[in-house]
Structure 1
C-alpha cells in the first residue's frame, strides 16, 4: 500500500490539488487531503505532475509493426499493448478488419487465450465488419465485405461467449431477425461503414444499437434533404467515437460534433501500424496511413495526442478532453465500474503527464512505472 502525493488529480468528476491517492494492491483505496496521510504509509512524490484516469482505446488494429489481421496472435496483442501504454493507454480493444469467418473465429480464440494467460490491457475484441455497406467499405478489402448469414452470426456469437466483444455493422444490411439476434447476444453493437438513411439509422437506434463507429468516416453524411447516419447520430442518445487527428475529420467538425453530442462523443485512435505482410497493407504517410492505392486507411494517432488535439486545436477544456479518452469510452464498452475514473474502489489505472501534456509514466492496476528519468 502506498500514496501518491504532490500532484494535480483529474478524477473525472473533479480537479483536486493537495490531495493524495492511496493505492492498495490493484485498487484505489482512498483519495484524501495530503495532511491526512498516515505517517507510516509509504509515499511517492509525483513532482507536481498531473494524474488522470489512463486511456481506453476501443479501436486499434495493432502495434509495433504487427497488424492483428496479418498476424492474428498473442504476440501482436502484446506488441500493441507495449506500444500504446507509453502514451498513457492502459486498456484497448484489439480490432479485426473485415475478413473471412475462419479468421474471425481465430481472432476470438487468440483474444481468449491472451486473457487466459494473464495478458494485460485487453478490454476486448472489436470486430469491425465484415457486414458493411459495400460503397462505405473504406479501406476494407472488397472481397471480404458480405451480407450476414444466420449461420455465420450464430458461429460468431457462440464462439465469442465469455469474451468482451464489440462489433461494427451496417444495420441496413441485416434482416429484422438477424439484428434482433445480435442485440439479444452479449456482443455490443455499433453502427458504421453504413449507407443507412436517417430513418433506417433511427430505427436501428430504437431497436437497441447505441454506438456509432468513427463519426463521419465511411457513413452516410448529413445532407439538406437526407440527414443520414451522421444526422441520426446527432439527433439521438447514442454514443459515437471520433478520430480527432485533423485528417479523418477536421477540427471544426470535431467542435461542432462536441457541441451537438456533449458526453456522447469520445476519442478513438483508429490507429494502424506499417505492415504489408497480409491482406491489409498499411503504409505510413506522415500524419496518416494509406493503403497501396493511396486510400486513407487508418490513423497515426495516439490517445494522448487525441487529447492534446481536442484541447489545443478544438478548444475543449482539458478535463473534458481527458474524459473523452477515458471515462466515456469505458462507458461505451460497459466497463465503467472499474475503468475511466479515479475513485475509491476503481482499478488503479492512471496516466501521469507534465504541463506540456507529455506522458511521464503510467500506473496499471496499482503498479507505477516511470517512462523518463526524473
Structure 2
C-alpha cells in the first residue's frame, strides 16, 4: 500500500526540509521529495512530520503498574499510552523488586513480544543491584550485591527479553558488568554513590549509559565531582534525563546539555497510580510520589519534547533528537533508527503548530 504525506516542516532526524512529502510503501520510506515535484496530491499535509519517539524507561499506564500487573493487558495499556504520547517504541521497566516479580515481568514481556505489531523493545531491569544510599524510592529490602551465579540465573531466564539493566558500578564488579554486556544487554549506571574516579573507570571499561541524570547518583560538588561530574567529563557515556521540572530543574537541564551535547537523551520515567504492591504511586499534581518520595513522572515522550523545547530552551530539532535519535543510538536495535530516511521503517508522527500530536504512529 502506498501513502503520500506532506508537511510544511519535515524533520529527518538530521535536517529540516520545508514543504516536503514522504512517500511510504509497505510501511517503509520510499522517498522524501519536494511537494512541487509530485505528480499526485499528498493524502495529508501537516505542520510538522518528525521521527516517532522512543521511551527507554517507563513503568506502567492506565492504573496497571507492570510490577503489580505483569500481564499482556498491562503491557497493551502501556503501549497504547506510549503511542498516544508520540512514541513508536517503549522499554517497559521494573524497579527493584523480588525475584518472583522480576521473573513474572520477564514472562509477560516475552509473551507480549510474540504479539503481531507489538512496539516493545524489551525489559529494562532497574535494580536490585544498586546502592542503598542512592536508592531513592526503591525498597531497601530487595537490594543486594550479586555474585556470578545470581547474575547468570537472571540473564538465562531473561534471555532475549532483558535489553537493559541499571546497576551501581561500585556494587557490581567489572567482570560481572562485562559478562552482562557480553549477552547484548545495555548496562546503565544508576542509583549509584560512586565517586568520580570509580564512575570514570566504569565508563572507561565499557559502561555506555547512565540512568536519570542528577537523580539517585552522587552529585557534582567542587571537591567531590561524583558521578554527575564523571558523566559531564566523559567523552562518550550517554545519560537519560527526566525533563518534567520536578526530577530536574530546567536550568539544570540546560547546564547538562551544554556539557554533554548529543550524549543526553530523554526518558519519561512515567508510572501510574496504584494502591497495591510495594510501590503505591499516588498522583500529586502532575508528578507521582511513593511513600512521600518523588517516584515517577506523568510525562509522555511528546511532553518530554515539548518541555525540552519550551522550558529548557533547546532548539526544536535537537529536542526531537533527544527523544528519538539519541535513545535509538543507546539501545542499538537494527529496526529502530529514530530517523526518517529512504529505505528505513516509516516510524513517524505528525504535529500541529502547537506541537500536539495529530497523527500517531500506526
Normalised to the residue count of structure 2, the TM-score between the two structures is 0.96
- Asked if 1 retains the 8 angstrom alpha-carbon contact of 2:29 and 2:343, the reply is yes
1:171 aligns with 2:130: no
Distance in 2 between residues matched to 1:339 and 1:106, nearest whole Å:
30
Q: Does 1:250 align with 2:249?
A: yes
CA contact (8 A) 1:161 1:186 kept: no
Partner residue, 1:229: 227
Two-structure CA RMSD over aligned residues (Å)? 1.4
Aligned-residue offset at 1:217: 0.2
2:70 paired residue among 69, 72, 78: 72
Instruction: Indicate if the aligned counterparts of 1:123 and 1:164 stay in contact, CA closer than 8 A.
Output: no
Does the C-alpha gap of structure 1 residues 330 and 176 become closer, same or farther in structure 2, counting only changes over 3 Å?
Answer: closer
**What SS does the aligned partner of 2:81 have?**
helix
Q: Residues 9-62 of structure 1, C-alpha deviation per residue, up to 9 Å, x if partnerless?
A: 0111111122110101121111112233344xx73122x421100110100001
Structure 1, 246-255 or 24-33: larger mean CA deviation: 24-33
Equivalent position of 1:282 in the other structure: 281
Find the aligned partners of 1:230 and 1:289 in 2 and give their Cα distance. Answer: 24
Is contact 2:48–2:351 with CA below 8 Å preserved after alignment? yes
Equivalent runs, 1:313-352 vs 2, <5 Å? 313-335=311-333, 338-352=336-350
Partner of 1:34: 35
Runs of 4 or more above 6 Å deviation: none
1:150 positional shift? 1.8
SS at match of 1:189: strand
Q: Is the 8 A contact 2:301 2:323 kept in 1?
A: yes
Deviation, structure 1 residue 161:
2.2
TM-score (norm. length: structure 1): 0.93
Q: In structure 2, the residue corresponding to 1:314 is in which secondary structure?
A: coil
Structure 1, 333-342 or 213-222: larger mean CA deviation: 333-342
1:90–1:176 Cα change, 3 Å: closer
Describe the shift of the 1:83–1:337 C-alpha distance in structure 2 as closer, same or farther (beyond 3 A). closer
Q: Post-superposition shift, 1:177?
A: 2.7
Q: Find the counterpart in structure 1 of residue 261 from structure 2.
A: 262
Match of 2:270 in 1: 271
Superposed displacement of residue 119, structure 1: 5.1
Instruction: Flag the 1:57–1:65 CA change in 2: closer, same or farther, 3 A.
Output: same
Tell me by how many angstroms 1:294 deviates.
Answer: 0.7
Which residue is equivalent to 1:147?
Answer: 145
